[in-house]
Chain A
Amino acid sequence: MVKEVKTVKFEPVIGLEIHVELLTKTKIFCGCSTTFGAEPNTQTCPVCLGLPGARPILNKRAVEFAMRASLALNCDIVDYTTFDRKNYFYADLPKGYQISQYFFPMGTNGYVDINVNGESRRIRIHQLHLEEDTGKLLHVGDILASPYSRVDFNRAGVPLIEIVTEPDVGSAEEARLFLQKLRTILLYTGISDCKMEEGSLRCDANVSIRPRGSDTFMNKTELKNMNSFRSVQRGIEFEIKRQTGICKDGKEVVPETRHWNEDKGTTTAMRSKFAASDYRCFPDPNVIPLETDSSWIEEVRNQLPELPDEKQERFKEEYQLPDYDAEVLTSSRELADFFDETLKDYNEPKTVSNWIMSELLAYLKAEKMEITGCKIAPRQLAQLLQLIDKGTISGKIAKTVFEEMFQRGEDPETIVEEKGLVQIADEGELERIIEEVIEANPGPVEDFKGGKKKALGFLVGQVMKATKGKANPQMVNKLLGEKLK
């Protein structure tokens, strides 16, 4: 029996639950600030502290953000919703219940398409709902050995959306790709800053395995504490291996919550909360039900920007860009906007794309900067490319100018002028320099005349050196060739 099991091939079944904090200025049911990183318990009031007698006032902006996210993820939008109480006791939960859209989630039946090794895969979204965040427990020392804990309620009541996928994710890599794509889409919509390191994007994974080709579900574990894209992939990879090992030994996976330990690279079973699994959900009688009529939904839909997939298609069709370029350029809304803006002044899509991908992104990466912090304006990049076309500078010099622009944010003309980088395209002047080079290098000249074609390259190099790279390379080639005939 055990031997048979050992020969079975397993495949993973993965579903993700993603919590995203919304970028509203105030909390979901009160006027407290949502700014991250303040002193503990300085952004609280009777409502978010759950003090008796306080009343929750729904933040309409949070509802709109949830709606915007639902639309961006291709969900159907609910037309009537309640805000429901999920009752359980925990020290980070001030009211003893969390208000969430339990019965009527904002969005259902959505999807996200991801690109896995050049192939498109669709991950379905089961639902997206709006809810409030909890406070944060600050443990003294290790969570298990901590003698006491403190609670910070600054986060309590910050609006969250929870996105639940169908178990469509087929591998740890797909999980990471999905999460990255999801982040890109949500960043486009502007509803969240999606910072995993600050917890404004959090991902839990439900992982199980089953014999390949089977359509049954086996015991799953819920994986928590994965705080980066990399750890999501690593955590799930580890968990798949662990479960496969258990199944190959003919044993059963224990359904439980497991904690990813980044340093050790392993998952461990977490102490289970004593919170009951029976949440006794019912609509909060203090928050009135909300109707989302179609005109409101359309208004929110009209506010949606062009999303990554649409933009990518447009870049390919309108500008004939290769798939790869289109994907890279649309990886953030700001980068795509930069590209679009540059084209307004310099309508050579592929050239602009090359400069952005090979120069701009390389510098940003080296400096660990985002496009938003870039000192070069799209207009300036266009000007630089125009200078090349006009023959004012060579492509090579342009790269030097670009570096200056990246550091200082000056216009390319200013830099070219200041550094005297204007290309020498005056035939008389070039001839004079070429004659000097021929005179100073009789050896290579002889070599060339004797049939060594390579020697020409050396002589061109000498001309460029003498002009500090400013000579027009095509002209140098031509003139030198003529002189040496």
Chain B
Amino acid sequence: MEISSLTITKLHGIYKAEENALSETCSTIYDRAQKAQEKYDIYITLDKDFLAQVEKVKGKKIEEYPLAGVPVSLGDNICTDVLETTCGSKMMENYVSPIKAFVVDRLTRAGAVITGKTNLDEFGIGDARGHSYFAHSKNPRVESRTAGCGAACAVALGTSLIGLSSDARGALRQSAAYCGVTGLKPTYGRISRYGLIDYASSLDQIGILAMNALDTALILSLVAGKDEGDPTSLDKPVLDYHKELIEKPKGLKIGIIKEWDEVEGLEEEVKKAFEAGLEQLKDMGIEIMEVNAPSFFHSPYTAAIIGAVEAFSNLANFDGVRFGFRASSNHLHEMYINTRTEGFGEHLKRFLAFGALASSEKHFQEYFLPAQKMRTRIKDELEEILEEVDMIATPTVPFMAPSLERVEKDCSIAPAADTFTSAANLAGLPALSVPVKAETMPAGLQLMGRPFQENLLLKVSHALEKSSMQDPSN
């Protein structure tokens, strides 16, 4: 079975046609996951009871269970009350949460089957390095390079149709670009974060990874909406995003940020792939125009400062007192120090220390305060531009998936990788990475739109997929 061209709708067509298709397909996909796991280190936990989940949804009506038998993977910072939730950290090894995340509840109620928990940068912090305490996820195209987060790799290799993961500065979209899949970070507040383990609460958003816009749209309709369990989730109408894709995009204007191609470290191949993507958009009758967004390029550091400060506070509960790892010690103070020194990884500790510094009384004026002001400027600037154009297009990441060696040693990856992605988190805007043709490795084209206009992003993404490759809906 060629899973890369499969959609949820097609899968359900197969399930309806053959009696045993659901069990057989699910078990094929699970076998594939186990094999891929050995080579690519995608998952932190594969559900040993996966087939039992499949048994339970067998024979369910698609009309009532719109995801019956659809294999979904979850980033390991999204809590399930069954599987471990480790956040890719020694701190949380073997931790099973009493919480079932809102999205997990929605998906499983719809009949989805969870293949397992995918690898991520420790606590989601690290910008798609793909390095956690447990695994280094490898790129599905070239094994010596990173996959970014395991969720993108899981989808690219057909070990699950859908991957849910978090995006605070762009990790989800960057991983999508590295692995050649579609990655949507919806508007802040579109999907409840109940049960997502916080990294940077004001930037974090749960997003969707899939092979195509159609599946992304279908899943978004099922997991979006107000949740009383998360006060930051917003009560805005949830569309039938899948249906929205029937009509072609018409009369749209897309803005290109002036000096996008002068970004340091922009790889030629990425540049070419993006330009080719723009040509395709023009061919569809979409108007492309240049927009001026000088503050936009300050977003990586702005997001890093805010992210670090929030992470420092959010991760203060990992103290060894109530749950998780506890190091041996003689008294309370020592327990804190030892637990956090031994339990957290190096990248994370550096980031948390920076957060402590940036929010300290002494350095608040130099870091946290200006970052907050810059955030407002970036947001205002983008909102103004989005009155002129319907969306903004950029490359997703300036470079192709970096090598495993580089992600481990090069500290400058983080701000560079976030060049184009972090503004959407700061401004709370929806953004989507769609794969575009490149010569050697996958690359991504990012579309960033107005709040709650995921439908437009998906529409353009769907049209791009159709024009660049085989139409998956055929």
A contacts with B: majority SS: loop
CA of A94 to CA of B332, assembled, Å:
14
* Cβ of B194 under 8 Å from chain A: yes
- A51, A85, A149: the one contacting B323 at CB < 8 Å is A51
Can you name the residue of chain A whose Cβ is closest to the Cβ of B92? A52
**What are 28 A-B contacts with C-beta separation under 8 Å?**
A46-B97, A46-B99, A52-B85, A52-B87, A52-B92, A53-B85, A53-B101, A53-B197, A54-B99, A55-B193, A55-B194, A55-B231, A58-B231, A85-B313, A87-B359, A91-B332, A95-B316, A96-B319, A97-B316, A278-B360, A280-B312, A280-B313, A280-B356, A280-B364, A282-B359, A285-B202, A285-B232, A285-B310
Bitwise interface map of B from 74 to 113 toward A, beta carbon under 8 Å scored 1, else 0: 0000010000010100001000011101000000000000
Bitwise interface map of B from 310 to 337 toward A, beta carbon under 8 Å scored 1, else 0: 1011011111011100000000110010
Given contacts A53-B97, A57-B231, contact A286 B313 (CB under 8 A): no
CA of A274 to CA of B334, assembled, Å:
11
Which residues does B use to contact A, with CB under 8 Å? 79, 85, 87, 92, 97-99, 101, 193-198, 200-202, 228-232, 309-310, 312-313, 315-319, 321-323, 332-333, 336, 356, 359-362, 364, 368
Can you name the residue of chain A whose Cβ is closest to the Cβ of B317? A50
Closest-CB distance, A107 to chain B (whole angstroms): 23
Nearest 5 pairs between A and B by C-beta? Answer: A96-B316, A285-B202, A285-B201, A280-B359, A52-B197
CA of A274 to CA of B337, assembled, Å:
12
Contacting B at CB under 8 A, from A137-186, are 149, 151
Residues in B neighbouring A278, C-beta threshold 8 A: 360-362
- A46, A149, A284, A288: the one contacting B98 at CB < 8 Å is A46
CA of A95 to CA of B197, assembled, Å:
13
> Using a Cβ cutoff of 8 Å, how many contacts connect chains A and B?
97
- Find the residue from A50, A51, A55, A286 having the highest chain B CB count within 10 A: A55
Residues in B neighbouring A149, C-beta threshold 8 A: 332
Given contacts A51-B323, A96-B313, A282-B359, contact A287 B333 (CB under 8 A): no
CA of A284 to CA of B230, assembled, Å:
13
Chain A: residues with Cβ within 8 Å of the partner, total of 30
- B97, B200, B232, B361: the one contacting A288 at CB < 8 Å is B232
State whether A151 touches B231 (Cβ < 8 A): no
- B193, B309, B317: the one contacting A282 at CB < 8 Å is B309
Residues in A neighbouring B232, C-beta threshold 8 A: 285-286, 288
Contacting B at CB under 8 A, from A71-101, are 85, 87, 89, 91, 94-97
Which residues does A use to contact B, with CB under 8 Å? 46, 49-58, 85, 87, 89, 91, 94-97, 149, 151, 274, 278, 280, 282, 284-288
Other contacts beyond A55-B230, A91-B332, A285-B200: 13, CB < 8 A: A46-B97, A51-B322, A52-B79, A52-B87, A53-B197, A55-B193, A58-B231, A95-B316, A96-B317, A280-B356, A282-B359, A287-B231, A288-B232
CA of A284 to CA of B315, assembled, Å:
13
Residues in A neighbouring B332, C-beta threshold 8 A: 91, 149
Given contacts A89-B336, A285-B232, A288-B231, contact A52 B97 (CB under 8 A): yes
Can you name the residue of chain B whose Cβ is closest to the Cβ of A45? B98
CA of A274 to CA of B323, assembled, Å:
22
CA of A91 to CA of B317, assembled, Å:
10
State whether A53 touches B99 (Cβ < 8 A): yes
State whether A91 touches B321 (Cβ < 8 A): yes
Residues in A neighbouring B198, C-beta threshold 8 A: 52-53, 286
CA of A91 to CA of B99, assembled, Å:
23
Residues in B neighbouring A91, C-beta threshold 8 A: 319, 321, 332
CA of A280 to CA of B336, assembled, Å:
18
- Find the residue from B92, B194, B231 having the highest chain A CB count within 10 A: B231
